[in-house]
Chain A
Amino acid sequence: MDPTHEVEILLVEDNPTDIELTLRALTSRHLANQLFVCRDGAEAIDFFFGNAPNALRDIGVTPRVILLDLNLPKVDGLEVLRRLKGDERTRTIPVVVLTSSAEQPDIAAAYRLGANSYIVKPVDFEAFSRAVSDLGLYWLLVNRPPH
């Protein structure tokens, strides 16, 4: 397997600012090398289940963790989560919901659909940066996925 093509973190996020701040937070811990971004829910579903040539699934890579925003264009985050957790091939990939919504119904729905973690993005950049880098470290280095 070509290590340059290995995707470790899949970020599903539509807000370019949040993408950049996430990237910055991960870079500070040198975790941004194998990051792939999907800018809406449809793109994320294509990534795993589509026939597009750039669907990285085709070359046999599986992300170590998926950071999923909920409020997404086209297909919303909960639907993406439902598809991922409803499919045998993607069920075991850890999904961390990373969203601005602190609404109880969203949190409940995410966990019901099988989310592995739910994080409300702090407004304070330092807190945000800490949260993102912590979760990156945890899922990439501390957590042991199935093989």
Chain B
Amino acid sequence: MSPLRDWPIKRKLTAILLLISGLVLVLTSAAFVTYQVVTFRGTIQSHLATRSRILAANSTAALAFANEADATEILAALKYDPHMVAAALYNQDGRVLATYPVAATADLIPAAPQPDGYRFQGGRLVGSTPVAQGGKRLGTLYIASDTKDVSDALRLSGVIAIVVLAIAMLAAYALAAALQGRISAPILALAETATAVSTRQDYSVRAPKLGEDELGTLTDAFNQMLVRIEDQDRELRRYATELEQRVAERTQELQERHEAVRRNAAELLAANQELDAFAYSVSHDLRAPLRSIDGFSHVLLEDYAAQLDQAGRDSLQRVRAASQRMATLIDDLLKLARVTRAEMRTEVVDLSGMARDIVAELQRATPERHVEFAIAPGLEARGDPRLLRVALDNLLRNGWKYTAKQPRPQIEFASTNVNGERAFVVRDNGAGFDMKYADKLFGVFQRLHSAAEFEGTGVGLATVRRIITRHGGRIWAEGAVDRGATFYFTL
């Protein structure tokens, strides 16, 4: 059997009610029975005392005259009371004058008179009464009665009590069973509702209210809680739906954006391929006719030299020079295009070492020139080594070119601090330029010197700027005519 705390409320309530009413009934019955017994004992004691006094009064003459026969006869009247067990008359000396029954045994009659008074002794009520006349004590009357009446009464009241107890308990059980519902029903209803809520997640159910008592208040509170939970649940669901919708919208948006990016990438790829094709055709198709122009000018000069005068030969030489210059322009433009579309691979680049290599190359190519180079050691930067080499090569080559007319040419590569930012510096003491035209320095085909002064196509610095820009850096120049030029760049 499950422990008491696991019993259903119904059973608990019924048990409590039965326990209480049982206890009350048992206590009441015990009190009733005790009262009955005490009262009855008092009653029979008083009856026996009365009877004793009557008998004692009747016995005075017999005692006074020590008449044994009379005394015996008087006592024999006791036979009409079936409860009388024994009786005896003692004279003044305490000797037994007469007994009842006549042949009473010694265990029924004490040998000497007992002190006056009544008491229950060994299942009997015994008593001694003085026999007196005119204030003079003549002897003592001893009388003993059984207590069958008392035990009968006790038995009867016991039976009554048990019957009453049984009936009362039955009635109590019936009432408890009927009335416990008043308390347990709302609790059970609450429990049922709570179970429904927790198992089905149905927050729309409500516990029925069965009264205005504390349980009613509890039910109200519970229902209010359910209302709030239902509201919150609805709100949550709404949020969830909204969130889902928003996620779906976002996903769609992202997909669209992704699609757009993909399209852009494809377009960019197409544009790059077009640029490649363009560069290819420039490289191939523009050079072939130039070669024809140059080649056949040469053929003319070789095969028809006799038919041409000096002016004609000069003209043909100019045609050849122009075609070769155009070839150089095409090559430089191609280089610029290559710089623009080349893929960047970033790593740490030793710019000092790179500058030393370029300088060595320049000196090898034109050993007759003597230029003083000052290259700061340990200059490093993060960038694409191929592109940075093209940029540095252009800048140093520029310095080399524009110091050609300088008696003591000097070129320096170093780094400096410009507004808290590290900038690399390429400085020469060559032809320099007018700061008025500083903004034209980096434009394609922009030149500040005539081809007669210094040859060049005007693509080199444009290429440098494009490389620096692709590295996220800036490039600018300072200079003055005949006082050199200084190029600064950041990476």
Contacts and interface: CB of A to CB of B under 8 A. Distances in A.
B334 interface: yes
Contact of A100 (B284, B294, B320, B338): B284
Contacts of B299: 24, 125
B137 to A, nearest CB: 161
**Among all A-B residue pairs, the 6 with the closest Cβ atoms:** A123-B327, A125-B295, A125-B298, A17-B292, A100-B284, A100-B287
Given A71-B284, A99-B284, A123-B327, A128 B295 contact: yes
Interface string A59-76: 000000000001100000
Interface string A91-119: 00000000111111110000000000000
B283 A124 contact: no
Interface of A: 15, 17-18, 21, 24, 70-71, 99-106, 121-126, 128
Contact of A126 (B290, B292, B298, B323): B298
Contacts of B288: 15, 17-18, 100, 121
B294 A124 contact: yes
A56 B322 CA distance: 42
Contacts of A105: 276
A99 B40 CA distance: 149
Interface string B266-307: 000000000010011001110111111011111100000000
Contacts of B290: 123
Nearest to B298: A125
Given A121-B288, A125-B291, 15 more contacts: A17-B295, A17-B296, A21-B291, A24-B299, A71-B284, A100-B288, A100-B291, A103-B279, A103-B283, A122-B291, A123-B287, A123-B326, A124-B294, A125-B295, A125-B299
Nearest to B331: A102
Interface of B: 276, 279-280, 283-285, 287-292, 294-299, 320, 323-324, 326-327, 331, 334, 338
Nearest to B286: A100
Contacts of A103: 279-280, 283
B283 A101 contact: yes
B294 A102 contact: no
B283 A102 contact: yes
A101 to B, nearest CB: 5
B284 A123 contact: no
A136 to B, nearest CB: 17
A87 to B, nearest CB: 27
A19 B287 CA distance: 15
A147 B294 CA distance: 40
A101 B327 CA distance: 12
A74 B288 CA distance: 19
B318 to A, nearest CB: 14
A68 to B, nearest CB: 14
A27 B296 CA distance: 16
Contacts of B323: 123
25 contacts: A15-B288, A17-B292, A17-B295, A17-B296, A18-B291, A21-B295, A24-B295, A70-B284, A99-B284, A100-B284, A101-B283, A102-B283, A103-B280, A106-B280, A121-B291, A123-B290, A123-B324, A123-B326, A124-B294, A124-B320, A124-B324, A125-B294, A125-B320, A126-B298, A128-B295
A134 B27 CA distance: 141
B334 A123 contact: no
A97 B283 CA distance: 15
A132 B291 CA distance: 14
Interface centre among B279, B294, B326 (most CB of A within 10 A): B294
A101 B291 contact: no
A124 B279 contact: no
Contacts of B285: 71, 100
A124 B287 contact: no
Contacts of B327: 123-124
Interface centre among A17, A99, A121 (most CB of B within 10 A): A17
Contacts of A99: 284
B291 A128 contact: yes
